[in-house]
Amino acid sequence: MHYGPDGDRSHKSPTAILTRLTVGEHVMKREFLAASAAAALLAGAGMAGQAAAQTAYDTAVENTAGLLGYYPFTQASQANDVANGHTGTLQGSASIGGAGTGFGTDPNQSSLVLPNTPNTGSYATAGGANPLQGGVSSTGTVAAWINLASLPSTAGRIFSIAGESQGGDDLDLQIDNSDNQLRFYTNGGGYVGAATDFDSSSLNQWIFVVGTFSDTGTTDLYVDGVLAGTGGPGGHGAENEPFYVGQSNAFGNREFDGSLGGVALFDTQLTGDQVEGLYKAAEGTNTGGGVPEPAAWALMLVGFGGLGAQLRWARQHRTVAIA
């Protein structure tokens, strides 16, 4: 016969009690081991995925319309575009910093390191089998994270950040050496400059800079997601010049000194909201509730496994057969 939890317990034998304990122990062990094994597999898969993790900024850039090329400068991508398969090369002493050397809050972010004090001719350029050339005509955007090791006024030369230029038809995001002003050139010499110049407090800091234009609207400069300068329509004709990072393809002696990261070229004019969204993605301030990290999932799984074992233990105790 069977006794429930509220039945008469005075007739339980020592054998029945021992049987109940033994069954409960086996259930708990089986459930806990299964949960632990599953958690280990999940955690391992998570760590493997993190080895080539895509950052929130990467995702935000690649989800923005009009992207011609995106250069995260990771050990895997080197100087290549990861959005459309354009190839690139490193020049001089240019190198790729490891994970954690880049901008923003994501530890996976890396950077392009350009040691150009003194000028070593170090930069990245479109090259190889499928270089990014042209693509920008009536609208366009150049975006990049910069980290200055020195000021252009100290180095005695303009620092080119990124662009595609030809004589009389500029597309250059750069810092001038006369006043350390961020400038965006979109035609034959015309530019929009930032209201505030860089100074010594700007050194060794990651700063997000964006130049964006339309030939029927405005030309705008953003610094850390905030509008820093604006002007009239930016005239720019279609060209087939190669995309350069850290140097100008049309003008010599403009090597950037420091590090660059997250460089992107678009054939569209970005809005203020889009620029702010890219900045916040890197800073980790627009991610919402988010999804638990793999390690968190593993801990949750262990917890749920343990809870399941407890429930099964309780169920084994509620009805015990006694011969």
User: How many residues can be counted in the chain?
Assistant: 323
On whether both 307 and 222 belong to a single domain, the answer is no
Q: d(Cα 291, Cα 23) in Å, to the nearest integer?
A: 38
On whether both 89 and 237 belong to a single domain, the answer is yes
Residues 6+ apart with CB under 8 A from 290: none
**Crossing angle, helix 294-318 and helix 14-50, to 10 degrees?**
170
Report if residue 9 sits inside a domain: yes
On whether both 85 and 227 belong to a single domain, the answer is yes
Predicted confidence (pLDDT) per residue in 152-179, tens digit:
999 999 999 999 988 778 999 999 999 9
Report if residue 111 sits inside a domain: yes
Phi, psi of 126 (to 5 degrees): -60, 135
On whether both 75 and 216 belong to a single domain, the answer is yes
- The rounded percent of the chain whose pLDDT value lies above 70 is 72
SS3 192: strand
Q: Which of 2-6, 38-42, 106-110 has the highest mean pLDDT?
A: 106-110
The overall pTM is greater than 0.85: no
Mean pLDDT computed over every residue of the chain: 81
pLDDT at 296: 40
173 alpha-carbon distance from chain centroid: 21
CB atoms within 10 A of CB 118: 8
Q: d(Cα 195, Cα 174) in Å, to the nearest integer?
A: 14
pLDDT at 16: 46
DSSP 8-state secondary structure symbol assigned to residue 55: P
Mean pLDDT value of segment 113-132: 97
Report if residue 286 sits inside a domain: no
> 110 with 262: CB under 8 angstroms?
no
On whether both 169 and 76 belong to a single domain, the answer is yes
Phi, psi of 320 (to 5 degrees): -125, 130
Residue 184 belongs to domain with CATH number: 2.60.120.200
On whether both 298 and 261 belong to a single domain, the answer is no
Tokens of 182: 């961020």
Of the candidates 82, 154, 146, 79, the one whose C-alpha atom is nearest the C-alpha of residue 117 is 154
Q: d(Cα 51, Cα 239) in Å, to the nearest integer?
A: 38
Tokens of 29: 């062990």
Report if residue 311 sits inside a domain: yes
Report if residue 58 sits inside a domain: no
In the structure, what pLDDT confidence band is assigned to residue 238 with cuts at 50, 70 and 90? Answer: confident
In the structure, what pLDDT confidence band is assigned to residue 286 with cuts at 50, 70 and 90? Answer: low
Mean pLDDT value of segment 240-248: 95
Give the per-residue SS3 of 250-262: CCCCCCCCEEEEE
pLDDT at 30: 52
SS3 278: helix
For residue 301, give its domain range. Answer: 2-50+293-321
- The rounded percent of the chain whose pLDDT value lies above 90 is 64
Output the CA angle 56-61-63, nearest 5 degrees. 95
Instruction: Using the predicted structure, report yes or no on whether residue 255 has a pLDDT greater than 80.
Output: yes
Beta bridge partners of residue 191, listed in sequence order:
185
pLDDT at 236: 80
How many domains does the chain contain in total? Answer: 2
Report if residue 285 sits inside a domain: no
